[in-house]
Structure 1
Amino acid sequence: MNIKLWARWIARIAGIAIVVLFLPFYFGYGNPLPFLNPDYTVHDNAWLTAFPFVFVGLILAWRYPRIGGYMVVLAILAAQTVTFFSGYGLVIPMIIPLLVGFLFVASEMGKA
């Protein structure tokens, strides 16, 4: 088996684990829709906006690894940028799904 196939399967298994573990937190947050609750901070709204893109990207990456990987990477980088520049710092646990997104993209490198 080649390295790209290994990388894709590791990313797939990690992606499913992330979706299964993070979805209850997303829906258990109360109101998972961003910008509806005036008590939500910029940090909350940024991540409540990014999570659906991360979930869809991880699921979509099973069939289209490059597209799904880019969705995950861009959503997490956008949310990290917003939270960092609004004074909340970086959210370190979100590096794990970011690496999974990069792994999906890397597993497709060199293909047309």
Structure 2
Amino acid sequence: MIRSTVVQRRHFQDGGQIVVLHTAFKDWRLYTSFAIGFPGASNRPLSDRAEQARRALLAAANEIKGHSYQEAFVRSPFAALISIHSALSASSHGDAVFFLCADEATSDAVANALKID
């Protein structure tokens, strides 16, 4: 079961936001965040907002020593739950996982799958 609580939230004038989550998965807790963007191999630089979300996630996760960081690309709303489960399963307690979402609908699906309280 996946359950998340907001650790940090930043709102923007255009209605967008950045959230950093403390996510419970299996018997451990991880830091997670998500933004619209594509992996580095796509030759598309991350947007400023995605870069801010990644930096906020890493800043929150730095409170725990020995954590690792990974990025997972989520291609579609239909792939959200599987992609999240795979990325979280490959992580361990205290790790940081950043989900790059292909578009707004995928970002919404990731938010729903992370079950934010």
TM-score for both structures, normalised by structure 1: 0.29
Structure showing the higher strand proportion among its residues: 2
| Greater share of helix | 1
Bigger radius of gyration among the two: 1
